[in-house]
Amino acid sequence: MFTGVNCAVAIGRHLEGFPSVELRKIIEENNLFIELKKRHKRVRFADAYLVDDVKEIAERRFKSVTTVMALTVPESIAMTEDLMEDRALMQDLTRETIQDRYPDIPVVPPQRAAEHLFRLALLNDFTLYEFFQTDVSGHSMDYARACAVLRTYDRFLAALVRCTEAAGITLVMTADHGNIEAIGERGHTRNPVPFIAFGPGEAWLRDRVNSLQDITPALLEAFDR
């Protein structure tokens, strides 16, 4: 999704979870953030890391694909201070999952989280937010938990769409796999995932994306127009 490279073919297998050394090399050499920076675009990863220094993230043994990409453009990374100042979002939107560790960081409703993301989008050319509570709840096989997560996400999206539509910002939504749609299965599914584009560039983007491999090339082409 973030490289335009079919990584499963490149490394000879499908890999779930954290990227391997060979996959990290592909991401570090060629990714959406690097290419946008080459085009002098300002990029931001909106999810906050609960650290005080980017070095703490770089030194982690296990890093997600998104983290590996964000580290190639360190200024894109948000940390604890950014979250406290509402310049970033938590991966759960409401911050409820961190209250035991960070009680001084107030819980916010999903609609307020949408406002925070919208303000970030106004400051940057490309802003990425990653929501993975759908993934967590899917793995849990807990129907009630999955419904609660989707209700929270629906409230967030309803508020965000109103903001982006009014400002003429193109909103893109997709996923790298499914699982919450099949709550009786613990693992990831092979079901097709949606690609949703809403805003000025919606039709142009939808015409160019037929697989995850198409997303980065289409976004870069959109910025080159």
Report whether 127 contacts 43 (CB < 8 A). Answer: yes
The pTM of this model reads 0.92
Q: How many domains does the chain have?
A: 1
Flag whether 211 is in a domain. Answer: no
Predicted local confidence at residue 13, as pLDDT? 76
Which residue has better confidence, 167 or 17? 167
Which residue has better confidence, 190 or 204? 204
Report whether 110 contacts 94 (CB < 8 A). Answer: yes
Report whether 129 contacts 169 (CB < 8 A). Answer: no
pLDDT level of residue 188 (50, 70, 90 thresholds): confident
pLDDT level of residue 179 (50, 70, 90 thresholds): confident
> Residue 172, class by beta-carbon neighbours within 10 Å (0-12 exposed, 13-18 middle, 19+ buried)?
buried
Flag whether 82 is in a domain. Answer: yes
Flag whether 106 is in a domain. Answer: yes
Flag whether 176 is in a domain. Answer: no
Residues 6+ apart with CB under 8 A from 198: 161, 164, 165, 170, 171, 172, 173
Residue 78's DSSP bridge partners are 48
The span from the first CA to the last CA of the chain, in angstroms, equals 21
Whether the per-residue pLDDT at 14 is higher than 80: the answer is no
Predicted local confidence at residue 140, as pLDDT? 84
Query: CA 34 from chain center: how many Å?
Result: 16
How far apart CA 186 and CA 139 sit, in angstroms, is: 5
Flag whether 37 is in a domain. Answer: yes
Residue 126's DSSP bridge partners are 43
Which residue has better confidence, 187 or 39? 39
Residue 45's DSSP bridge partners are 128
Flag whether 1 is in a domain. Answer: no
Q: Whole domain around residue 24: which residue ranges?
A: 7-166
Flag whether 186 is in a domain. Answer: no
Flag whether 119 is in a domain. Answer: yes
**C-alpha distances out from residue 208 to 29, 37, 76, 164, 199, Å:** 24, 22, 26, 22, 15
Which residue has better confidence, 225 or 2? 2
Report whether 83 contacts 49 (CB < 8 A). Answer: no
- What average pLDDT is seen over the chain? 93
* Nearest alpha carbon to residue 146 among 172, 182, 119, 170: 182
Instruction: Convert the pLDDT of each residue in 36-75 to its tens digit.
Output: 999 999 999 999 999 999 999 999 999 999 999 999 999 9
What is the DSSP code (8-state) at residue 89? Answer: B
In a 3-state reduction of DSSP, which class is residue 32?
helix
